[in-house]
Amino acid sequence: MTARITVQEQMTGHTQTQIAGIEAVCDLSGALYLPSLSLLVVSDLHLEKGAAFARRGQLLPPYDTLATLKKLDAVLARYNPAIVISLGDNFHDRAGSALMPDAFRQSLTGLAKGREWIWINGNHDPDGVTGLPGMDADILSYGGLTFRHEPQAGVATGEIAGHLHPAATVRRQGKSVRRSCFANDGQRLVMPAFGVTTGGLDLGHKAFAGLFSKPSLVAHLLGRDRVYAVRFGNLRE
């Protein structure tokens, strides 16, 4: 099924789409909301990235976790989901959750209160989280969808994954603009990275080969104040 686009949706702060026939909202924050399941999906938070680099002797501004948690707080307030799934690389390294300062731990505990919270394990944090509410899983099947960190090549009906940090480039008024994006062909959706210090990989990169039906692929680009839905064929190569 081809991901749907309407002009009205492009005039708001989000776009609506479908994944395996299930309605979904691509939020400007980079979160995905599934109204029928009261479920919010985020991916690649990379919490404690600055701390992870500092442990290796490379100093980065230490504000990434606070900024990402504030962003997460805002999107949770917007949708108030019953379930939250974080699609792996929740922390930047294996030690991140165990060594996270108590203030951040308390913030996460407060955000999870009254919700089901599932931490999908990623390649950066394959051992799961320590001392946080919720459950760990490598893969989760729920509501006719499959949630995992790394997308699996081949036929995948209803797969929602992260890991690749998709981004796309469009040309507008003679200028090229590159933005993080959701990538969705109606059967598989790959999430943008939610963490504030994460980069992006262009949809034309070989890492995306075999994942999507190109005629149906739509990039939902995260603009400054709204999400722009652009078909893959209209993206700048």
User: Going residue by residue through the chain (237 aa), what tens digit of pLDDT does each one get?
Assistant: 334 333 333 335 789 999 999 999 999 999 999 999 999 999 999 897 866 655 666 666 667 899 999 999 999 999 999 999 999 989 877 777 788 999 999 999 999 999 999 999 998 888 889 889 999 999 999 999 999 999 998 878 899 999 999 999 987 777 888 999 999 999 999 999 999 888 899 999 999 999 999 999 999 999 999 999 999 999 865
3-state secondary structure of 47: strand
Residue 146 falls inside a structural domain? no
Range of the domain at 111: 7-140+157-234
Residue 194 falls inside a structural domain? yes
Residue 65 falls inside a structural domain? yes
84: domain CATH number is: 3.60.21
CA distance 165 to 123: 13
Residue 2 falls inside a structural domain? no
Buried b or exposed e, range 107-131, using 16+ CB within 10 angstroms? bbeebeeebbbbbbbbebbeebbbe
Residue 89 falls inside a structural domain? yes
Helix (H) or strand (E) holding 237, with range, is none
One-letter amino acid of 149: H
CA distance 138 to 5: 32
pTM for this entry: 0.89
Number of domains observed in the structure of the chain: 1
Residue 152 falls inside a structural domain? no
Token reading at 41: 């999906």
Residue 150 falls inside a structural domain? no
